[in-house]
A and B are shown apart, each in its own frame.
Chain A
Amino acid sequence: MPQQKIRCLLAMLGTDVHNKGIRTLAQLLRDRGVEVIYLGEHNTAGGVINALIAEDADVVGLSYSTATYLHYTRDLLDKMRTAGVGDVPLMLGGLIHADDEPALREMGVRGIFGPGSTMDQIVEFLQTATGKTLPGGAAAGA
């Protein structure tokens, strides 16, 4: 029988092209039973939100390697709220500087997975944030 899947939208905003991290993450999440909707690079906030709505994604993940992530994240979250999808959890990965974490949390970012984060941490976050369980992931609620 089909089941409740976690649908996770992965995207990059701005002109950042360092996509190898997020592409590998997509494969690893697929291995854990996640349905990844992969938007690739060079997205605008509007594009991400339209995809998020159409795909009814449970969670959005963004990866950054450029320093402009504060700007793009704030812009996206503002537009998500305006579009009525401010409730969808947002996680960030890539080169997120520790100094910026409080500001990002303040904005409403729910998960921050900088360098050194493990797959188990990401999977646990996905389960907690969406309230859904993954096939092999007993991490939720544990």
Chain B
Amino acid sequence: MNMKESSQKAVLLLADGTRFEGRALGARGVAVGEVVFHTSGTSTHQLLTTPACQGQILAFTTPLIGNCGVNEDDAQGTGVFAVGMVVRECCRVPSNFRSRQSLPDYLSQRGVVAIEGVDTRALTRHLRDKGSCRGAIVSGQADEAALLRELASPAPVPPAPRAAQPAPRPRREDFHVAVLDLGCCRDLLLGLTLRGCRVTLLAPDTPFDDIAALGPDGVLLSDGPERLTPTEGALQTARALLQSGLPLYGVDAGHQLLAVAAGCRLEPLPAGHRGPNHPVHATGGATFTTTQRHGLTVVPESVDPARAAVTHVNRNDGSVEGLRYAGCPAFSTQYLPDHRGDSTGRADAIGAFLSAMAQRKEGGLNA
């Protein structure tokens, strides 16, 4: 398709007044959200549908986006959670055997306002230097001055999303895992079920007694939105879980929830970690590549050695990537575990969780 047909202008407006002009893509209208950049080139659809990206305008550093179209099988949640998308070039006629729909059609259909033709490298440099900020994609008519005023005020914290995806059934059932759903992505659930876990999805503030009543072999605290402010109920549950002796694994937002429950503080990263190439180093051990998407991080000084220990750090900036909690079979990772299992067997956090559950089961049998 010819570019002329989509040559309607659109603008990305940042809270500091920076403007990036481009062409309208997807739905027309105005999208307001947190503008963040991602270095993943092929997970566009996955990210748009990930509950963790709620409220975000996703800017991709990869210049050619949507070459392989969209396949609903890849969706990480029900519906689109991101509010907008910024790309340099979006493919109109995809070419891939799995493609069911082009990305522009998908965006239009789902009402996602997007913009293309943007110098995404200039945008990335801006966000890197100034930090992620609020912004708006204006596709069509809008009062920019009013928008700027709106962008200047702090963003309302949206209600926590839930993984409306029903958990798929495993072929075999080795363990029963209770998942505290902070906005769990499908791949994480898939990672559990592929390896023999039956999953029960629970709200994050489900009281501990209710969880215990289900008799799970372990509890996973899922990923979720970046700007999650844990409710008091969720924190109470997390504290109780850390006391329970149940195997626990916290991922991403779940990692942060457990960390806070263990007395840690969070702080924003200068530019966030959002991409598939973040090297993580296990203290005294291996280094491996991980996928991440977070803007907050655990303050290393706030880790109380009596309650938790840092097990993994980011090799590049030294930020906390993993914690082990004292006195219980609990650990958490800031990065997302590879749901397919790591091919070199080095970053298999889900495997570690399974081992913890297996150990407890054995212990239980022996006792």
A complexed with B: no
By a beta-carbon cutoff of 8 Å, the part of chain A in contact with chain B is none
